[in-house]
Amino acid sequence: HILLETKSCCVFMHAALSSLHPECEYIFQLEKEERRCLQYISEQGNRSTGCHPFWDAVSCWPHAVTGETIHRACPAVFSLFKNNTGSVSRNCTTGGWSRPFPPYHIACNVDDDIPETEESYFATVKVIYTIGYSISLVVLAVAVLILLLFRKLRCARNLIHIQLFVTFILKSVAVFIKDATLFSSDDTNHCTLSTFACKVSVVFCHYCVMANFFWLLVEALYLNSLLLSSFYHSRRCLWGFSLLGWGVPVLFIVLWIGSRVYFEDTECWDINEDSPYWWIIKGPIVVSIAVNFMLFINIIRILIQKLNPRLIQFNNSSQYRRLTKSTLLLIPLFGTHYMFFNFLPDYFNVNLRLCIELCMGSFQGLLVAILYCFLNQEVQKEVHMQWFRWQERSYGVVSPAAKGSQMDTPF
């Protein structure tokens, strides 16, 4: 989840240093400079005159005689954020060291704190996606119960929908678990946090996201097969879809875990910027998105042909129109904007990515449940039938609408 989630980093220097998030690299380089300064101070020993050497949390100041002015170039770590060639000075007075002049944030042209507007923006984004995932979680759970409870709705199509709903539910749960594990306290040092629980939460979140993309791919494959009228409804095909949706992500997640354990065991494994091993997860997702987009184009092409009044039979037109509505509303949602963002650097236009991937993405499960369950005519008809039957058993009264529905139903 881009900026809200990528707050830990590693302590390995040199080769691993390039994979650090700038904030953590800043902290670790400062700690390294502090150790050097403290060693320098211990080597200097105690001197009775002048100003003693000290570390001011940014720069190391040497011993100076009274009245001397010491100049220090802006620390190299500031170049992680902005290029600068400024300097800071201190006077050694009879009362000790003076304050730095000009202050670091002015001399080195760096912000000394996160702007309030930016901090408020991140807090607002978290509130929005928490609400979105919460609503989606409840609605998706109701949709799964409806599709499981009514026997007449247990067909191959709805079994695939159910598993897609489950991936959205798991993704929502994974986001809540990850937030609770990594961001439960503002005092948590994300640059040194490394626990088994936080790594498990990150792995679980990656698996849920990956499984969600692959089940969206299964939906696209199934829609194509329906429109081509070449899909043989057998248990073997459903097992194949299940293997693709649940099994393939397991394979890549296991490979990614092995690579992190042996080659890049960096804290909570939630920093993947510039890491080559991140493509073990990101690569298959990008491929699935690309395939989904091509399937979307193919579905549109088929639907245009099928919906041509000269090429379709009258009794199939309503079915294809329903598929058109679902396809046009759902597939662009999980294809178009992902096609754009997945080929850009992870930190490209962070605010826009936060808005689309977190805020809009958190309501994706809600939209899927509405399209494939609550707006489905078969589901609505079966729910109405069960409601009327319950009224008949409870009160012995059946409304005219129920009788009409029963007469129109061949079962």
Average pLDDT over residues 226-253: 81
Q: Is the peptide bond before 102 cis (omega within 30 degrees of 0)?
A: yes
Is the pLDDT at 79 greater than 70? The verdict is: no
Residues 6+ apart with CB under 8 A from 342: 282, 285, 286, 289
Residue linked to tokens 């709903």? 165
Residues 6+ apart with CB under 8 A from 131: 362
Q: What is the pLDDT of residue 171?
A: 94
Residue linked to tokens 């493509």? 279
Q: Select from 214, 268, 244 the least CA-distant residue to 5.
A: 268
Residues 6+ apart with CB under 8 A from 106: none
Question: Confidence class of residue 347 from pLDDT cuts 50, 70 and 90?
Answer: low
Rounded CA-CA distance 99/89 in Å is: 8
Q: What is the pLDDT of residue 12?
A: 26
Helix, strand or coil, per DSSP, at residue 241: helix
Sequence spans of domains, the chain: 1-108, 116-393
Q: Cα separations (Å) of 99 from 72, 103, 310?
A: 13, 8, 85
Question: Confidence class of residue 154 from pLDDT cuts 50, 70 and 90?
Answer: confident
Sign of CA dihedral 254, 198, 179, 28: negative
- Burial class from Cβ neighbours inside 10 Å (0-12, 13-18, 19+) for residue 261 reads exposed
64 φ/ψ angles, rounded to the nearest 5 degrees: -140, 150
Q: Cα separations (Å) of 185 from 61, 146, 179, 182, 345?
A: 34, 38, 10, 8, 29
Q: Select from 381, 321, 400 the least CA-distant residue to 146.
A: 381
Say which CATH class 116-393 falls into.
Answer: mainly alpha
Lowest mean pLDDT among 103-107, 177-181, 302-306: 302-306
Question: Confidence class of residue 325 from pLDDT cuts 50, 70 and 90?
Answer: low
Rounded CA-CA distance 58/354 in Å is: 32
Average pLDDT over residues 74-102: 80
Lowest mean pLDDT among 123-137, 149-163, 295-309: 295-309
Rounded CA-CA distance 191/395 in Å is: 64
Rounded CA-CA distance 216/220 in Å is: 6
Q: What is the pLDDT of residue 167?
A: 95
Q: What is the mean pLDDT of the chain?
A: 76
The one-letter amino acid at 395: Y
Integer Rg of the chain from CA: 30
Question: Confidence class of residue 84 from pLDDT cuts 50, 70 and 90?
Answer: low
Is the pLDDT at 329 greater than 80? The verdict is: no
Q: What is the pLDDT of residue 345?
A: 60
Helix, strand or coil, per DSSP, at residue 355: helix
Residue linked to tokens 């830990």? 8
Q: What is the pLDDT of residue 137?
A: 95
Q: Which helix (H) or strand (E) holds 72?
A: strand 69-73
Question: Confidence class of residue 402 from pLDDT cuts 50, 70 and 90?
Answer: very low
Helix pair angle (235-242, 196-228), 10° resolution: 140
In percent, the amount of the chain with pLDDT more than 90 equals 19
Residues 6+ apart with CB under 8 A from 172: 133, 134, 136, 137, 140, 362, 365
Q: pLDDT for 172-207, tens place per residue?
A: 999 999 888 877 666 666 666 667 888 899 999 999
Q: Do residues 50 and 92 make contact, with C-beta atoms less than 8 angstroms apart?
A: yes
Average pLDDT over residues 16-25: 48
CATH of 1-108, one of 2.60.40.10, 3.40.50.20, 4.10.1240.10, 3.90.930.60: 4.10.1240.10
Higher pLDDT, residue 323 or 1: 323
Q: What is the pTM of this model?
A: 0.70
Q: What is the pLDDT of residue 176?
A: 92
Higher pLDDT, residue 252 or 32: 252
Q: pLDDT for 361-394, tens place per residue?
A: 888 889 888 888 888 888 888 888 877 777 777 6
Helices (H), 246-376: 248-263, 279-306, 317-341, 350-353, 361-362, 364-369
Q: pLDDT for 50-73, tens place per residue?
A: 888 989 888 888 988 888 999 888
Q: Cα separations (Å) of 328 from 70, 334, 359?
A: 68, 11, 21
Q: What is the pLDDT of residue 327?
A: 61
Higher pLDDT, residue 189 or 256: 256
Q: What is the pLDDT of residue 284?
A: 93
Q: Do residues 358 and 205 make contact, with C-beta atoms less than 8 angstroms apart?
A: no
